[in-house]
Structure 1
Amino acid sequence: MLYLISGASRAGKTIVAKKLSVQKGISYLSLDWLVMGFTNGIPEYGLHDMLFPDEIAKRFWSFFKSMVESMLWSDIDYIIEGEAILPELIIELLEKHPNKLKICFLGFTNVVVSQKVKEIKQFSCEKNDWLTEKTDDYIKDHVKNMISHSKKIKTSCKKNNLKYFDVSKNFNDVIDDAIAYFKG
């Protein structure tokens, strides 16, 4: 089984992946690592970390689809998390492999931008967190972009009958709900 966790930046994808990894005893892969590989390793491909998530997902799709199909063929259990998956694209693989993939999307459509910025700054204490060096204005713009992205994802999930978790309120409880979804 492949467990796929996608959605907006700062919606808790990595938290879900890490907790699920421990609980299920399987490894996880962050798509951010692959995107940075494209950004720094093969810039001529035109896929880089400064694009909006939907653009990254569209440019990344043929690579990601082939990678997932290879993993499914190998019949391994794995968790993959990252922004570079869109509901309208992944539905193709879900229809082709209905019992081998489980996916959910996370986002935040209804947050107070200043509060989300405060939370990001409070919980971005990891030394390698890419937002720790950014200005408040940069983070505000990022949050506004992710609200917009979350709304698109939520709409697409509804249209494609995919699971969407909104972490706008009760963040930790919603994260627990997403983990329970994968375990259930």
Structure 2
Amino acid sequence: MVIIITGASHVGKTILAQRMLEKYKYPYFSIDHLKMGLIRSGITDLTPEDDDELTDYLWPIVREIIKTAIENEQNLIVEGCYIPFDWRNNFEEQYLRWIRFICIAMSDEYIDSHLEEIKSHASDIETRLDDSYCTAEQMKQDNHQVIDGYRSNGEQITLITENYDDSIREVFD
């Protein structure tokens, strides 16, 4: 089984991947680690701010990692925001039946009422060096883009509206 976890920044993708690793004992692969390895090594001239270009650049690599894990009958959690909205078009049915897709997003109301709490958890698993861009308006814009993009491709979204832990618990059930 390959579990893909995606969503906008600050929605809890990494903490969910960590919880799944602890529960299922599946290793997890962070797309951000791949991104930074390629950027820091000079293999690409892209920067961490080049989100759209990074998706186009990273997805072919991540897609083939997913296929390899499935072909090798290995479990894997793939976590990150660089998953194209139409990701399913890149896999034949023989692969899709081994993939579980999870997209997490937050409602505007949740962001408005929990912004400081959201920001306080930003470094629970990984240390964020600069979080100054994390504003309510930016988060809302990012979440709307994720929700609209994946829903328009027929994907289910785990929408956090009131209680983060309850919403994430539903992903496990």
1:130: which partner in 2? 128
CA–CA separation in structure 2 for the residues paired with 1:129 and 1:77: 26
Give runs of aligned pairs for residues 69-108 of structure 1, distance below 5 A: 69-93=67-91, 95=93, 97-108=95-106
The Cα shift of 1:115 comes to 4.3
The one-letter amino acid of 2:172's match is I
1:17-74 per-position Cα deviation (integer Å, ceiling 9, x unaligned)? 11111111211111111111112113x523332223x442222122222222222222
The Cα shift of 1:126 comes to 4.4
Q: Percent identity?
A: 20
1:27: which partner in 2? 27
1:167: which partner in 2? 160
- Matched pairs, number: 173
Aligned-partner SS, 2:6: strand
Match of 1:157 among 150, 165, 168: 150
Q: Which of the pair is proportionally richer in helix?
A: 1
1:49: which partner in 2? 48
TM-score (ref. length: structure 2):
0.84
1:63: which partner in 2? 61
Give runs of aligned pairs for residues 3-22 of structure 1, distance below 5 A: 3-22=3-22
2:134: which partner in 1? 139
Pairwise CA RMSD:
2.5
CA–CA separation in structure 2 for the residues paired with 1:125 and 1:84: 20
The one-letter amino acid of 1:19's match is R
Aligned-partner SS, 2:157: strand
CA–CA separation in structure 2 for the residues paired with 1:149 and 1:100: 28
The one-letter amino acid of 1:3's match is I
- Listed as ranges, the gaps of 5+ residues in structure 2 are none
CA–CA separation in structure 2 for the residues paired with 1:55 and 1:146: 20
